């Protein structure tokens, strides 16, 4: 391959003879989803009017995917304007035509001419090298593909071409598969750094691979810190690096990559032992850091007594009277140790804690410690009058999964009493507490802003209890068509009154166009379940005729086909 210092004019003249000998293209098969490289806008502006016209004509044919004719147009351009700024582009596009026509070996030869004679046309030369690798890959010659992409990665200019990011990542993946992670990580680092802003998706993928390598495969904190600075943090987007952010993200990544199987005990011990060693003695005033350090050390040595003693010492070193949040944090840390939970719980003065702190403590006791009795005791100390209705709503919704009695207490405390009653009805409906839900539904039905919803919830509870006729009446009062009409039809079916269900579906079909195809299909199914084959077939055909573009039409087609019935003909459903 000639050096990148070859003059453009000499390269163009030298290349011309080879280009003239190229044959026309055969029919093609397009690479799906390929974003095609176009001519540089500034280069196009420098072309004279006639050059631009001829090239635009070739591009237009290429855009129409008539690659055989497009190749001829690019050949014509090269013959007519051998010294044009656009010659490298025209050669590149001709090579693309060959590749898309599955003439990959010929395409490789054309791409190689760009590298030989136009190496300084980085826009096209880098793309040519990328596509050489792709051609080899499509031919099944993975090693040659990787060789091309390694060359792409090695060139200071080519490696920053937008096509290079994906190729270099694939090169890294290949090296990992060949048990060469040390070589692979250098390529991943390259992509993460070079494309952090210009191709963030590729950069994030590469970044995750670098983190995998330096955190788990071959742990190396100094190199990881250097990488952190190079990519401007491990955040989704680049940001200003900082000590707090570095250690926080590092610990999060250590934890997310620290899962090991039962047979990998030695690996787990080595992994957490390394990272605990890295953290030892650092950031003594950072509780979260020290808690993670203690947990990593425990995972490495399994010494629970030393773990608890270290955490007790850390707590004592930073204790200040009234720091209830810190005690709550330690209760969470010791959640699996009942005695330690009791020890730290005893340090609290619930009367001095805010409602927000009490709520957080309650959730820790419910969700992490698993002690409902302690949690309910904390709830009883929350001054509900200090909460607004939105805060009460959030609290009682959390309690849905915990204790219905507490839900009732919170709902009854809401300043908006009607909203509180309605929210309680929603809870009874959700928990299927019919004894309390039914009378409350009747009460809430009298609230103008909640009446329809109350009837709907009442109707569902009646339907769930098998009281279908009463449910129908409630659905009618809910008055939210077509939703209530579907449910009314369900109730008729449950009572064996399929003709009434059909009538209900007809109403939906006639008055709700968006729902009509589904209503028509359900009508057909009712005739099927009634063993009325004639009407079943007629209605399926009717669906295909009236709603040909719907999914239900496709379903009807398949139903008829499965029965061996010819599509079309017969009497359409009216």
Rounded Cα distance between 570 and 312, Å, is: 84
Answer whether residue 134 is part of any domain. Answer: no
pLDDT at res. 145: 98
pLDDT tier at 7, thresholds 50, 70, 90: very low
For the chain, give the percent of residues with pLDDT over 70. 93
pLDDT tier at 568, thresholds 50, 70, 90: low
Helices (H), 195-242: 200-211, 221-230
Rounded Cα distance between 16 and 99, Å, is: 20
Answer whether residue 411 is part of any domain. Answer: no
How much is the mean pLDDT over the chain? Answer: 93
What is the token pair recorded at 223? 């190199």
Mean pLDDT of 297-304: 98
Helices (H), 302-433: 304-318, 324-333, 338-345, 355-364, 372-379, 389-399, 404-412, 417-431
Residue 68 to residues 21, 38, 257, 278, 477, Cα–Cα distance (Å): 16, 18, 51, 62, 68
Do residues 229 and 240 touch, judged by C-beta distance below 8 A? no
Sign of the four-CA dihedral 377, 379, 380, 383: positive
pLDDT, one tens digit per residue, over 533-559 is 999 999 999 999 999 999 999 999 999
pLDDT, one tens digit per residue, over 321-358 is 999 999 999 999 999 999 999 999 999 999 999 999 99
Rounded Cα distance between 506 and 43, Å, is: 65
- Same domain? For 102 and 187 the reply is no
- Same domain? For 1 and 114 the reply is yes
- Same domain? For 84 and 170 the reply is no
Mean pLDDT of 463-480: 98
Phi/psi-derived region of residue 177, left when phi > 0, alpha when psi is between -120 and 50, beta in every other case: alpha
Do residues 197 and 238 touch, judged by C-beta distance below 8 A? yes
Last residue of a domain, one of 121, 149, 178: 121
Which range among 30-44, 48-62, 481-495 has the greatest average pLDDT?
Answer: 481-495
- Same domain? For 12 and 99 the reply is yes
pLDDT tops 80 at residue 81: yes
How many Cβ atoms from other residues are within 10 Å of residue 155's Cβ? Answer: 17
Do residues 401 and 430 touch, judged by C-beta distance below 8 A? no
- Same domain? For 90 and 9 the reply is yes
pLDDT tier at 116, thresholds 50, 70, 90: very high
pLDDT, one tens digit per residue, over 235-255 is 999 999 999 999 999 999 999
Do residues 203 and 222 touch, judged by C-beta distance below 8 A? no
Q: What is the extent of the structural domain holding 243? A: 162-259
Mean pLDDT of 380-388: 97
What CATH code is carried by the domain that includes residue 67?
1.25.40
- Same domain? For 487 and 573 the reply is yes
- Same domain? For 107 and 188 the reply is no
Do residues 70 and 51 touch, judged by C-beta distance below 8 A? no
The 3-state DSSP class for residue 288 equals: helix
Rounded Cα distance between 14 and 83, Å, is: 11
Rounded Cα distance between 557 and 542, Å, is: 11
pLDDT tops 50 at residue 29: no
Would you give the end-to-end CA distance of the chain in angstroms? 76
- Same domain? For 2 and 115 the reply is yes
For the chain, give the percent of residues with pLDDT over 90. 90
Answer whether residue 154 is part of any domain. Answer: no
- Same domain? For 489 and 573 the reply is yes
pLDDT tops 50 at residue 296: yes
pLDDT tops 70 at residue 198: yes
Last residue of a domain, one of 200, 233, 259: 259
Answer whether residue 558 is part of any domain. Answer: yes
Do residues 239 and 233 touch, judged by C-beta distance below 8 A? yes
Q: What is the pTM of this model?
A: 0.81
Answer whether residue 408 is part of any domain. Answer: no
- Same domain? For 112 and 213 the reply is no
Number of structural domains, the chain?
3
Rounded Cα distance between 20 and 39, Å, is: 21
Do residues 111 and 129 touch, judged by C-beta distance below 8 A? yes
Do residues 516 and 547 touch, judged by C-beta distance below 8 A? yes
Rounded Cα distance between 504 and 482, Å, is: 10
Peptide bond into 301 cis (omega under 30): no
What CATH code is carried by the domain that includes residue 573?
1.25.40.10
- Same domain? For 6 and 108 the reply is yes
Last residue of a domain, one of 213, 237, 259: 259
Answer whether residue 65 is part of any domain. Answer: yes
Answer whether residue 334 is part of any domain. Answer: no
pLDDT tops 90 at residue 191: yes
What is the token pair recorded at 243? 């000590």
pLDDT at res. 35: 79
pLDDT tier at 567, thresholds 50, 70, 90: confident
What is the token pair recorded at 356? 């927000």
- Same domain? For 111 and 224 the reply is no
pLDDT tier at 272, thresholds 50, 70, 90: very high
Answer whether residue 315 is part of any domain. Answer: no
pLDDT tops 60 at residue 210: yes
Task: Give Rg (Cα) of the chain.
Answer: 36
């Amino acid at each position: 391959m000639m050096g990148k210092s070859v003059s453009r004019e000499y390269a163009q003249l030298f290349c011309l003879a080879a280009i003239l000998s190229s044959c026309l293209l055969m029919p093609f098969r397009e690479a799906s989803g390929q974003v095609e490289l176009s001519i540089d806008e500034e280069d196009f502006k420098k072309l004279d009017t006639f050059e631009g016209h001829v090239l635009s004509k070739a591009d237009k044919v290429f855009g129409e995917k008539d690659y055989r004719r497009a190749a001829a147009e690019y050949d014509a351009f090269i013959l007519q304007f051998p010294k044009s700024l656009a010659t490298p582009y025209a050669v590149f596009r001709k090579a693309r035509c060959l590749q898309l026509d599955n003439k990959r070996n010929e395409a490789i030869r054309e791409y190689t001419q760009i590298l030989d004679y136009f190496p300084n046309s980085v826009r096209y030369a880098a793309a040519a090298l990328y596509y050489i690798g792709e051609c080899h890959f499509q031919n099944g010659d993975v090693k040659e593909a990787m060789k091309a992409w390694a060359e792409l990665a090695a060139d200071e200019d080519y490696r920053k071409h937008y096509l290079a990011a994906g190729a270099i990542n694939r090169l890294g993946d290949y090296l990992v598969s060949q048990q060469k992670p040390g070589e692979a990580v250098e390529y991943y680092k390259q992509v993460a750094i070079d494309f952090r802003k210009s191709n963030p998706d590729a950069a994030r993928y590469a970044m995750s691979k670098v983190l995998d390598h330096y955190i788990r495969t071959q742990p190396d904190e100094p190199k990881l810190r250097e990488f952190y600075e190079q990519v401007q943090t491990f955040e989704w987007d680049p940001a200003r690096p900082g000590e707090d952010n570095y250690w926080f993200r590092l610990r999060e990544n250590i934890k997310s990559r620290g899962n090991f199987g039962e047979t990998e005990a030695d690996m787990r011990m080595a992994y957490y032992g390394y990272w605990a060693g890295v953290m030892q003695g650092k950031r003594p005033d950072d509780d979260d850091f020290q808690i993670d350090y203690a947990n990593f050390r425990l995972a490495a040595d399994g010494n629970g007594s030393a773990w608890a003693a270290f955490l007790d010492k850390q707590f004592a070193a930073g204790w200040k009277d009234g720091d209830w949040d810190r005690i709550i944090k330690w209760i969470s840390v010791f959640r699996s140790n009942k005695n330690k939970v009791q020890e730290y719980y005893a340090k609290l003065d619930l009367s001095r804690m805010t409602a927000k702190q009490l709520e957080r403590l309650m959730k820790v006791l419910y969700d992490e410690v698993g002690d409902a009795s302690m949690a309910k005791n904390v709830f009883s100390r929350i001054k509900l009058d200090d909460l607004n209705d939105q805060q009460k709503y959030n609290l009682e919704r959390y309690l849905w999964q915990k204790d219905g009695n507490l839900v009732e207490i919170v709902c009854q405390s809401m300043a908006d009493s009607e909203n509180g009653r309605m929210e309680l009805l929603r809870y009874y409906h959700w928990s299927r507490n019919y004894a309390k839900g039914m009378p409350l539904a009747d009460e809430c039905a009298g609230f103008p802003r909640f009446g329809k919803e109350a009837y709907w919830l009442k109707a569902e509870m009646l339907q769930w209890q098998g009281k279908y006729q009463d449910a129908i009446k409630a659905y009618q009062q809910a008055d939210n068509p077509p939703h209530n009409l579907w449910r009314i039809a369900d109730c008729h079916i449950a009572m064996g009154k399929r003709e009434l269900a059909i009538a209900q579906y007809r109403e939906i079909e006639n008055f709700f166009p968006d729902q009509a195809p589904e209503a028509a299909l359900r009508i057909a199914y009712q005739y099927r379940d009634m063993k009325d084959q004639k009407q079943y077939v007629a209605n399926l055909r009717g669906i295909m005729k009236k709603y040909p573009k719907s999914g239900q039409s496709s379903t009807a087609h398949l139903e008829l086909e499965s029965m061996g019935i010819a599509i079309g003909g017969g009497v359409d459903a009216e």
